[in-house]
Amino acid sequence: MAANTLLQKFLPDVESSGNFVRSSWDRISKMPGGRRLFSVMVGRAAPYTGSIGARVEELRDGYARVTLRDRPQVRNHIRCVHAIALANLAELTGNVAIAYSLPDDARFIVAGMSMDYLKKARGTITGICEAPIPESDERREYEVHVSMCDESGEEVAHCILRTLVGPKKK
């Protein structure tokens, strides 16, 4: 099956029944190249998010780990990872963590974010999120914390996403 055909099969319909992030990850992440394919799929579903070329490495209830390779496309004028690339990584990491954890009848949107840049980000940056796990589709706002660390494990940025969870449209 061609990559584009496979991607179309897995591209999410946000309002569909079930949790497309969880079912897609659970189905394809264990296949050879599955994590890469899942990451590309997320990037196709949200093209701006896909522009940084990050890779979802681990995903489970309330947790995500996503990596971003340092390369010219994500650098700024002083040759470190650009602030907006880090913000994009934070949003991707937090979003897949919360999306994986949602009940089948819920959806989410980021209502706000705050970002602290702690030091220059160089090398591969890893976003790590331990998100709250919504138990229902009740309309509620959650704080989702994402830590971005360099290869030595030192935190280079910290983000708090204000994420609004609510019911899917009927």
Q: Which fold has domain 3-167?
A: Thiol Ester Dehydrase; Chain A (3.10.129)
The CA distance from 170 to 164, in Å, is 18
Those residues whose C-beta lies under 8 Å from the C-beta of residue 112, and which sit 6 or more positions away, are 161, 162
Quick: pLDDT tens for 84-143. 999 999 999 999 999 999 999 999 999 999 999 999 999 999 999 999 999 999 999 999
Place of tokens 């959650």: 142
Quick: pLDDT tens for 23-72. 999 999 999 999 999 999 999 988 888 899 999 999 999 999 999 999 99
Quick: pLDDT tens for 149-162. 999 999 999 999 99
∠ CA 46-55-33, nearest 5°, is: 105
150 against 6, higher pLDDT: 150
The amino acid at residue 35 is: R
Q: At what angle do helices 3-10 and 34-45 cross, to 10 degrees?
A: 70
* In contact, 130 and 93? CB cutoff 8 Å: no
Q: What token pair was written down for 108?
A: 């989410």
The amino acid at residue 78 is: I
pLDDT of residue 16: 65
Q: pLDDT category, 14, cuts 50, 70, 90? A: low
Q: pLDDT category, 170, cuts 50, 70, 90? A: confident
- What's the pTM value of the predicted model, to 2 decimals? 0.89
* In contact, 119 and 154? CB cutoff 8 Å: yes
